[in-house]
């Protein structure tokens, strides 16, 4: 090789930008917040967002760890601005534009999230980001957006009837790079429903990825809409038990925004919330905060359950027992502690009488185990806030139908 091409090559390598990457350190524990979709669908507006932000502070949600206020689909006009090609906030719903709303949320010490889609249209039929990645990312940065939920509608033949098929990894990586270039740290929430197994490739692309189709406010149901389904609480929990090894600090399996407070029974709400904590899922409230009952508020601000979700190890629970009339889920915690959740899946009341020494626990995936013949633990009931003795004695508890009890085991000194 002569000197000239060699020099060009070397110079080229020097001038190439360093490989883009996601913003690190934004989700070392599962992100927490509120999202408009489950209650408001596309009917979201400035007043609702501001009132929700106010209540985050007033009701102690912020103090409990909820940070992000996320505006889901429906916030835009149906067309981009013809001159600038920028997205236009809906004039009726956001009459002052988006920046003042973002500023307001920031003024409450909270963070602001927004929604768009990797395809040509969002799932609600509004302008998608395909082809406008860098423009949209810049616009979000100008507004001060801290979180982007990025959906997967209208991305191809099986999805939007288009004569091509977008590639998921490339589409999400492109948006990650656009966010990076825009320069403002943004938590990137991948929402392609698990169709393309993002847990296998998205660790360096996003901070969380949905693992299922949309959640529905029911216990054990699948609602089909010809081609796609939404799922109740239990189908989502059970759907992907083989992927817990891919979730952890900075990159979470996302079990979807919650339906707590939206019509399940009190026991089912408890189980829903506590299981999301056991699964180390992002915790996004999906109810109308302005109409929340005291009971719901108490549940979603249960600090002992939230601490299990936010445990620094970030290990997702696994199902340990499934054939005893109840399900027992186990989550290794920091400092040799463990969380255990007993769930009554039956339709009647259940008396639990659990002999700790009957089963030792082993989590082969994360290399953790307990031998109850050799180790003793204090047992704390994190749902009812009482000390439930220790592992020297059987754990006895009565569970109503669909109810849960979550225990924190701490090694005895
Ligand atoms: C998809 C997502 C939902 C919601 C809607 C908005 O269905 O999975 O969470 O964002 O789109 O249209």
Q: What is the pLDDT of residue 5?
A: 57
Q: What is the pLDDT of residue 280?
A: 98
Question: For a substitution probing ligand 1, which of 124, 127, 148, 151 has the most ligand atoms within 8 Å of its CB?
Answer: 151
Question: For a substitution probing ligand 1, which of 123, 208, 212 has the most ligand atoms within 8 Å of its CB?
Answer: 123
Say how many Å lie between the CA of residue 129 and the centre of ligand 1.
15
Q: What is the pLDDT of residue 6?
A: 56
Q: What is the pLDDT of residue 8?
A: 57
Token duo for residue 287: 């109810």
> Distance from CA of residue 204 to its chain's centroid?
17
What phi and psi values does residue 98 have, to the nearest 5 degrees? Answer: -95, -30
pLDDT tens digits for range 289-322: 999 999 999 999 999 999 999 999 999 999 999 8
Mean pLDDT over each residue of the chain, to the nearest integer? 95
Question: Is 151 touching ligand 1 by the criterion CB < 6 Å?
Answer: yes
Q: What is the pLDDT of residue 324?
A: 74
Q: What is the pLDDT of residue 54?
A: 98
Q: What is the pLDDT of residue 351?
A: 96
Q: What is the pLDDT of residue 24?
A: 95
Q: Name the residue with the closest Cα to ligand 1, atom 5.
A: 123
Q: What is the pLDDT of residue 10?
A: 55
Say how many Å lie between the CA of residue 238 and the centre of ligand 1.
21
Spell out, as residue ranges, where the chain has pLDDT lower than 70: 1-19
Say how many Å lie between the CA of residue 100 and the centre of ligand 1.
25
């Amino acid at each position: 090789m002569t000197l000239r091409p060699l020099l060009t090559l070397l110079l080229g390598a020097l001038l190439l930008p360093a490989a883009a990457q996601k913003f690190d350190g934004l989700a070392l524990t599962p992100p927490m917040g509120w999202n408009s979709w489950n209650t408001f669908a596309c009917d979201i507006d400035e007043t609702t967002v501001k009132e929700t932000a106010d209540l985050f502070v007033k009701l102690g949600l912020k103090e409990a760890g909820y940070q992000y206020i996320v505006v889901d689909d429906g916030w835009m006009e149906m067309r981009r601005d013809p001159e600038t090609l920028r997205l236009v906030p809906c004039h009726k719903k956001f009459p002052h534009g988006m920046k003042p709303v973002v500023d307001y949320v920031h003024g409450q010490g909270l963070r602001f999230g927004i929604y768009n889609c990797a395809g040509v249209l969002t799932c609600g039929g509004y302008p998608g980001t395909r082809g406008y990645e860098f423009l949209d990312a810049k616009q979000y940065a100008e507004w001060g957006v801290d979180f982007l939920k990025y959906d997967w509608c209208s991305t191809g033949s099986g999805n939007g009837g288009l004569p091509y098929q977008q590639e998921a990894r490339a589409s999400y990586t492109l948006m990650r790079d656009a966010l990076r270039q825009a320069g403002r740290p943004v938590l990137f929430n991948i929402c392609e429903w698990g169709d393309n197994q993002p847990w296998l490739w998205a660790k360096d692309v996003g901070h969380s990825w949905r693992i299922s189709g949309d959640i529905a406010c029911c216990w054990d149901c699948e609602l089909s809409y010809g081609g796609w389904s939404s799922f109740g609480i239990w189908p989502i929990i059970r759907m992907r038990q083989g992927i817990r090894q891919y979730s952890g600090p900075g990159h979470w399996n996302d079990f979807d925004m919650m339906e707590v407070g939206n019509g399940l029974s009190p026991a089912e709400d408890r189980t829903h919330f506590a299981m999301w904590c056991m699964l180390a899922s992002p915790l996004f409230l999906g109810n109308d905060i302005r109409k929340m009952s005291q009971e719901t508020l108490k549940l979603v601000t249960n600090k002992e359950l939230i601490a299990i979700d936010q445990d620094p190890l970030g290990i997702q629970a696994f199902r340990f027992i499934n054939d005893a009339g109840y399900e027992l889920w186990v989550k290794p915690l920091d400092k040799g502690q463990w969380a255990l959740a007993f769930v009554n899946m039956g339709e009647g009341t259940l008396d639990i009488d659990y002999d700790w020494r009957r089963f030792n626990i082993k989590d082969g995936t994360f290399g953790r185990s307990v031998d109850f013949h050799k180790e003793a633990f204090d047992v704390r009931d994190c749902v009812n806030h009482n000390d439930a003795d220790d592992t020297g004695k059987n754990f006895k508890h009565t569970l109503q139908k669909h109810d849960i009890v979550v225990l924190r085991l701490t090694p005895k000194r």
